[in-house]
Amino acid sequence: MPRILLVEDDWDVRLLWEHTLLEAAYDVDTAWSVESGRDFLNHSHYDLIIADGRLRDGIGLAVVDQAREMGIPALIVTGYAFTLDGLAAGSPRYDVLLKPVRPAELLKAVAEALDFAPRQ
């Protein structure tokens, strides 16, 4: 079962996505900040990271960059794609979903990201 770290500071969104992923048979840990996301990354293995673009203590790109350095694929989910450094129009550096994201859309993006992820 693929293991996913979900980093989202909006409690309602985090809960919805967590339940969506759990119902789809993913193993999910949740974090609510850049600091907690990095802590999870430093202590556990993940197959995919999903991070909000803007968090209360920084930007989700910090968690995603750390994950990518570790060889972990990642998705950025944000309503601020055009105002975050590094997400400029058409940047190939990140896979981005724009909020609001429906559960089916999230599951499709997760499946695609995991399908292209290197097998360990």
pLDDT in tens, 62-116: 999 899 899 999 999 987 655 555 554 444 456 888 888 999 999 999 999 998 7
Superfamily of domain 3-116: Response regulator (3.40.50.2300)
Could you tell me which of 8, 41, 20 has the C-alpha nearest to residue 106? 20
Could you tell me which of 43, 59, 44, 48 has the C-alpha nearest to residue 9? 59
On the question of a cis peptide bond just before residue 103, with omega within 30 degrees of 0, the verdict is no
Distance CA 38, CA 72 (A): 13
Phi, psi of 76 (to 5 degrees): -105, 130
Distance CA 48, CA 118 (A): 11
Distance CA 99, CA 83 (A): 14
pLDDT in tens, 23-40: 999 999 999 999 999 999
Q: Give the start-to-end residue ranges of the domains of the chain.
A: 3-116
Sheet of 74-78, strands arranged across: 27-31, 3-7, 48-52, 74-78, 95-98
